[in-house]
Amino acid sequence: RAKAAAYIVQKQPEVADDLEEMGKIASLLRVDELHLFDKKGRLYAGSEPKYYDYTFQSGEQMRYFLPMLDDYTLQLCQDVTPNTAEGKMMQYVAVWREDHEGIVQIGMEPARLMVAMEKNELSYVFSMMTTESGVTIFAVDRETGTIVGSTGDIPAGTAAEALGLHLPEDMETGGPYERELDISGTKNYCLVELTDGIVVGVSATYGKLYENVPNNMMLILFSLCVLSFVTVFLIVKMLDKFILSDIYGTIEGTKKIAAGNLDYRLEIDHTPEFKE
């Protein structure tokens, strides 16, 4: 969010002089405070005019960001602590603008910070995912053996063993591997893999797995019928071209000879049936 604010300020420097716009940017980024510092560490603009002219030397909390003045690569995130101006509990994050013409800092109150942190948890991530009916994606904490997130009806905290997934035994075989699980009383085919200490599984009911089989079978049968028709057609064309046409030619030649045209020469070597 701090980087996004820095990008906006750099591309549209006029917003620094518009208090209303600064407030809108802070609201869009879902932060409580937005501050702009010059290259010397003086707060000259932002969403909170009462903090203007504070510097990185103004107090212990603000001195945390002093090292940034000597290093353009620093991006600092401070723990929740009382701010210098009011002693209000805040967490601040600061980054340099890409053009190095100033530092942009955002501040979040603990309540907003907790909401932001919750959105980074697996339970929230999985709750926001959508899957087809009959398909479930879930994650299991390998250490505790419990579900930490699911797109279906598996409550967080459910023991993996309750689904038929025995982690200590399964992990010895490596992954990915397949299992049959019981989710909400329904048998599911499941593929599970260990990723960064988290066991991620994708399962589907057997009804979901086989729902397209009838349509696929009809498509295969139709394709076979078309292929058979084309094959028969080509065989008939080949017979007509290489065998029947030669036979008809031979018959016509014998008719000419029978009619008294004894000078007519009949070639039959090119017809396999007569040649044999």
- CATH assignment at residue 53: 3.30.450.20
Contacts of residue 151, defined as CB under 8 A and 6 or more positions apart, other chains included, come to: 126, 127, 129, 130, 131, 135, 136, 137, 138
Q: What is the pLDDT of residue 119?
A: 59
- pLDDT 10s digits, 108-133: 888 776 766 665 566 666 766 777 77
How many CB atoms neighbour CB 203 within 10 A?
Answer: 27
Q: Which amino acid is at 168?
A: P
Please give the pLDDT value at position 230.
Answer: 92
Instruction: Look at residue 93 in the predicted model and tell me its pLDDT.
Output: 94
- Helix/strand/coil for 130: coil
Place of tokens 């349509």: 215
pLDDT at 36: 96
Both 159 and 253 in a single domain? no
Final residue in a domain of this structure, among 53, 86, 115: 115
Range of the domain at 253: 228-275
- Angle 173-179-183 (CA atoms, 0-180°, nearest 5)? 140
Per-residue pLDDT tens for 8-61?
Answer: 999 999 999 999 999 999 999 889 999 999 999 999 999 999 999 999 999 999
For 75-166, where are the E strands, in sequence order?
75-77, 81-82, 89-96, 103-108, 135-141, 146-150
Question: Is 221 part of any domain?
Answer: no
Residue 254: its pLDDT value, please?
75
- What spatial distance separates the first Cα and last Cα of the chain, rounded to whole Å? 89
3-state secondary structure of 272: helix
Please check whether residues 18 and 106 belong to one and the same domain.
yes
The token pair at 127 is 């709750």
pLDDT band at 198 (very low <50, low <70, confident <90, very high): confident
Residues 18 and 83 grouped into a single domain: yes
Note whether residue 216 is domain-resident: no
157 shares its domain with 88: no
Q: Is residue 232 part of a domain?
A: yes
Instruction: Report pLDDT for 228.
Output: 93
Q: Which residues contact 193 (CB under 8 A, 6 or more apart)?
A: 175, 176, 177, 199, 200, 201
266 φ/ψ angles, rounded to the nearest 5 degrees: -100, 120
* Residue 6 confidence (pLDDT) above 90: yes
C-alpha–C-alpha distance, residues 195 and 218, integer Å? 39
Asked whether residue 39 is assigned to any structural domain, the reply reads: yes
- Whether 108 and 145 map to the same domain: the answer is no
| 3-state percent breakdown (helix, strand, coil) of the chain, nearest 5 | 40, 25, 35
**Per the structure, how many domains does the chain have?**
3
Same domain, 6 and 94: yes
Establish if 235 belongs to a structural domain.
yes
Q: Is residue 220 part of a domain?
A: no
Could you tell me if 24 and 99 lie in one domain? yes
Domain match, 7 and 106 both: yes
Residue 179 has pLDDT above 70, yes or no: yes
